[in-house]
Structure 1
Amino acid sequence: MFDSFVSQTNLLERTIRRSRSRLSNLKSILKLPVDDHAKETSDIESTLEKTDVNHLMEIFVGTPPVKQLVAIDTASDNIWTQCLPCINCYEQNQPKFNSRNSLTYNVLRCDSPQCKALGRSIRCFEDTHKCEYEVTYFDDSTTSGDLALETFIIGNTLLPNMVYGCSNANKGQFDINNAGVIGLGHGPLSLVSQLDHLIGGKFSYCLMNWIDRNTKSKISFGANANVYGHGTVSTKLFAKSINLYFVALEAVTVENTRILFKSVTKSIEGKKDVVNEGNMMIDVGSILSYLPIVVYQELENAFKSVIQAIPLQNPLGDFKLCYKNSSIIITQIPRIIFHLAGGANLALTSENTVVQYEDIICLGILPDNDVAVLGQFLQMNYLIGYDLKKGRIFFKSTDCSTQQII
């Protein structure tokens, strides 16, 4: 729970601003090439912690190892933490990694294959030949620093020679609880790609409810990332561009109203969106979710037809549909199901579909005419497993607060 209405309002405003910025910038990376990888031999697990806006994975960096909590991001392929000495570091509430104290830290040269894999993010200087990276994120935050090889420990697994960004210059919106980012995309420098020889393209996570505090979940790689058992559903996973994941949304049901997916926009390849190409990005970094305007409008109309109350005339921020919160309204929240290709139905609860704060409740799905996004709220309390080799993604309804490493 939040301490005050002010803190709730500030958090919600940050949520709206972050989602809006991320959405507009996600669209700029949809035309990059795809990479491919190898075979599974090991299992790796780590703790996942919840903050107001991120889910943080525990890793240890360097020799001697330094604990760092870093935000997982399925739409990124870079790994970095803030480093000392800093030129311009944001405030964080955990110790910053000092590369000068690590026996295994080794800056890469510009002519190294790892540096060249940065693509557009590379910065090189003729006098030093030192490789530097520079990345701009979806909320327009930027990070830059040295690209190096470093030893990681994730769970009980020692991982030498990981390609790692030692960030000494950052600007923008960064969470004080967050020491950096772990990219889980499928680009060549992501954690998933670097560990491919160990995990075979498999990883899973379980996102806790956004209002949960002091709870932990887990993130798994390799065989332990297999999601199975009663209630598990799966659908085809599309790996478009260098680091983005898509699923195929066929329809949305609101109570007894079925709404077919349709869009007036073009897909990445320049053709009309069709289900079998993958039409909805799955993104752990986008807090809210988005649907094409024509689909959203039908969803909103169906939502309003179920709730016997008058919507607020001036919804907060980007939210389109809000109500005065009450116990009666809560009981009227309609059941929403996302129908994915192959019969994978995601039955969502009110915790997934509406945002509550103080005396207002809003539909947590918004319209956009360029891209559909399955964001963090709709993923909450699902154990979600990716199998990049088989091109499948698995969903299992789960109380994520109980999914801890034992």
Structure 2
Amino acid sequence: MLLLLLSLFFFTNSCAGQTTISSGHTHAIPFPTHDNLNVKKSLSQATQIPPLPKTQEEFKDESRNKSSWKLNLLHRDELPFSNFTDLGRRFQSRMRRDARRAAHLIGAKYEAEELGAEVVSGLGWDLGIAEYVVRIGVGTPPQYQYLEIDTGSNLMWVQCQPCKPCFPQYDPVFDPTRSSSFAIVPCSSTICNRIHLGCTRGRCSYGIVYIDGSYNMGTMVQETITFGGTVVRDVTMGCSQTNQGMVTGAGGLLGLAGGSMTFMAQIPGQTGGVFSYCLASWHAESSGSLEFGREIIPVGAVWVPLLRSIRAPTTYYIGLSGLGVGNIKLPISEDVFRLTEQGNGGVIMDIGTSVTRLPKVAYETLRYIYMTQIATIPRAPSFSQLDTCYDLNGLGTVQVPTISFFFTGGQIWTLAAKNILIPVNKRGIFCFAFAPSPTGISIIGNLQQQGIQITIDNSNGFVGFGPNNC
């Protein structure tokens, strides 16, 4: 059996040591057991004020030099229109969004028609509450817009003039009258018939309500989209003219779930059904990236099969068999993480959830073992839904155990210290970025995904981890 080592986040001088433990396979698997957390650097980056975004002209000039399918990926809290300059207030707001999204994914409202459904006539439910944004051009000539991206939503849409009401956005609202490529999807279209959308005055219409109470309603259209240096024509998307919510300042949403109406599904011949993202830390000095196309599949990545739930067929699930802390493989049954044939349980990869959620028995075991290994570090009160926090004020560097995810195929993904303990205010309070799930559903959040290239291959049904850092 080929054993794959994932030590993607670590530099040689940052690892205090390696060990070998049994994972239940034929051979033992080595991986880093400890990492050094640079407290001062983390706080300095987290409290810095981000630079102003580029003007439209600067962005157009930059796009000409980009890889044809590559976009900068920014966290919404790093944008000036987020209105949060204080780390504590900013993170508190993020935790409120996180709690609402996670509750929808793992709570009582978890139903197929709500989580993974296509856009339906009337007002259908979708996830929304996205955490990352990209900047793309819509129309001919392109009118540049910030769009939220979400692996839990299927439709792409932008606010369109005239709209009443419109939510505030950083850029001027997209004006269809200024685009020579704008075309309305008629009710007689096979697109409209295939996904059973509504019909208003001969136009294919849609409506979505998001879990935070935001909503948008409008008309399905086809338009030209500029991604980096690439122009894509006849993309089916929503032109939203009745809106509320979306307080990020973005002008719309780019859905990247596994449904038939996503941008990826519309151009499989051009991208091969593959997209890859690097989530830079939300307080990092540089942006992350979102890239499309099979040619960007990394050599040396560890590949894990995507699983499909009958209750949420467009959501990205992976198989998880266990967890490790430092050199300890936790005594947790694989059944705790299993996705059943009925669509219950399972582990979701989600870019819109920040904190990783685990079923209660797994979370309490993980937290207990982790706490015992850093028992000498001063504790601090809980922060929002994060119940395990530490006072690192005045400390330069602290050594902490790593946390490892054991996948069902035998691969291991080992987290760095910065993906485990995160700063929540400028006073040096760091919290354990995991929380309990009240159901059998687990979510791997974006705080744990930061810093590594993650590739979704929808055509072949795999998710790849690494090997590139970002």
Partner of 1:333, secondary structure, is strand
* Aligned equivalent of 1:182, options 244, 254, 272: 254
Quote the Cα distance in structure 2 between the aligned partners of 1:293 and 1:329: 33
* Aligned equivalent of 2:413, options 318, 324, 346: 346
- 2:93 is aligned with 1:11: no
Give 1:292 shift.
0.7
Quote the Cα distance in structure 2 between the aligned partners of 1:262 and 1:272: 14
Instruction: Spell out the pairing of 1:4-403 with structure 2 (5 A cutoff).
Output: 7-27=86-106, 28=109, 31=112, 54-119=131-196, 122-125=197-200, 128-176=201-249, 178-213=250-285, 215-229=286-300, 232-240=301-309, 241-259=312-330, 260=332, 267=339, 269-270=341-342, 273=345, 279-307=346-374, 308-312=376-380, 314-326=381-393, 331-356=398-423, 357-358=425-426, 359-370=428-439, 371-400=441-470
Letter in 2 for 1:216: S
Quote the Cα distance in structure 2 between the aligned partners of 1:290 and 1:113: 40
Quote the Cα distance in structure 2 between the aligned partners of 1:138 and 1:262: 31
Give 1:167 shift.
1.6
CA contact (8 A) 2:402 2:417 kept: yes
Greater mean deviation of Cα atoms: 190-199 or 320-329: 320-329
CA contact (8 A) 1:184 1:192 kept: yes
Letter in 2 for 1:31: A
Quote the Cα distance in structure 2 between the aligned partners of 1:360 and 1:116: 54
CA distance 1:216–1:317, change in 2 (3 Å): closer
Identity of aligned residues (%): 26
Quote the Cα distance in structure 2 between the aligned partners of 1:131 and 1:199: 27
CA contact (8 A) 2:404 2:414 kept: yes
Give 1:388 shift.
1.7
CA distance 1:309–1:218, change in 2 (3 Å): closer
Partner of 2:361, secondary structure, is helix
Greater mean deviation of Cα atoms: 131-140 or 323-332: 323-332
Quote the Cα distance in structure 2 between the aligned partners of 1:252 and 1:352: 15
Equivalent pairs counted in the alignment come to: 370
Give 1:268 shift.
6.2
Give 1:55 shift.
2.5
Greater mean deviation of Cα atoms: 87-96 or 2-11: 2-11
RMSD over aligned Cα atoms: 2.7
Give 1:289 shift.
1.3
CA contact (8 A) 1:61 1:150 kept: yes
CA contact (8 A) 1:185 1:242 kept: no
User: What TM-score do you get using the length of structure 1 for normalisation?
Assistant: 0.83
Partner of 1:16, secondary structure, is helix
Letter in 2 for 1:255: G
Quote the Cα distance in structure 2 between the aligned partners of 1:110 and 1:29: 31
Letter in 2 for 1:298: T
Greater mean deviation of Cα atoms: 183-192 or 258-267: 258-267
Give 1:94 shift.
1.8
CA contact (8 A) 2:130 2:150 kept: no
Give 1:350 shift.
1.7
Q: Structure 1, residues 86-111: CA drift from partner, whole Å, max 9, x if none?
A: 21222111222111221221222234
- Gaps in structure 1 of 5+ consecutive residues: 36-51, 274-278, 401-406
Greater mean deviation of Cα atoms: 242-251 or 326-335: 326-335
Give 1:65 shift.
1.3
Quote the Cα distance in structure 2 between the aligned partners of 1:326 and 1:169: 47
User: What TM-score do you get using the length of structure 2 for normalisation?
Assistant: 0.72
CA contact (8 A) 2:298 2:467 kept: no
Letter in 2 for 1:361: F
Give 1:189 shift.
0.8
CA distance 1:69–1:271, change in 2 (3 Å): closer
Q: Structure 1, residues 198-236: CA drift from partner, whole Å, max 9, x if none?
A: 2221111111011124x233322222331223xx21111
CA distance 1:261–1:181, change in 2 (3 Å): farther
Letter in 2 for 1:388: N
Q: Structure 1, residues 217-266: CA drift from partner, whole Å, max 9, x if none?
A: 3322222331223xx21111124334210111111111122223556699
Quote the Cα distance in structure 2 between the aligned partners of 1:306 and 1:201: 43
CA contact (8 A) 1:58 1:69 kept: yes
Greater mean deviation of Cα atoms: 321-330 or 297-306: 321-330
Quote the Cα distance in structure 1 between the aligned partners of 2:318 and 2:409: 11
CA distance 1:113–1:206, change in 2 (3 Å): same
- Gaps in structure 2 of 5+ consecutive residues: 1-45, 50-83, 118-128
CA distance 1:117–1:17, change in 2 (3 Å): farther
CA contact (8 A) 1:25 1:137 kept: no
CA contact (8 A) 1:80 1:164 kept: yes
Quote the Cα distance in structure 2 between the aligned partners of 1:265 and 1:345: 15
Give 1:327 shift.
5.7
CA contact (8 A) 2:355 2:445 kept: yes
Give 1:335 shift.
0.8
Quote the Cα distance in structure 2 between the aligned partners of 1:385 and 1:175: 26
Give 1:326 shift.
3.5
Quote the Cα distance in structure 2 between the aligned partners of 1:109 and 1:337: 51
Letter in 1 for 2:464: F
Give 1:169 shift.
2.4
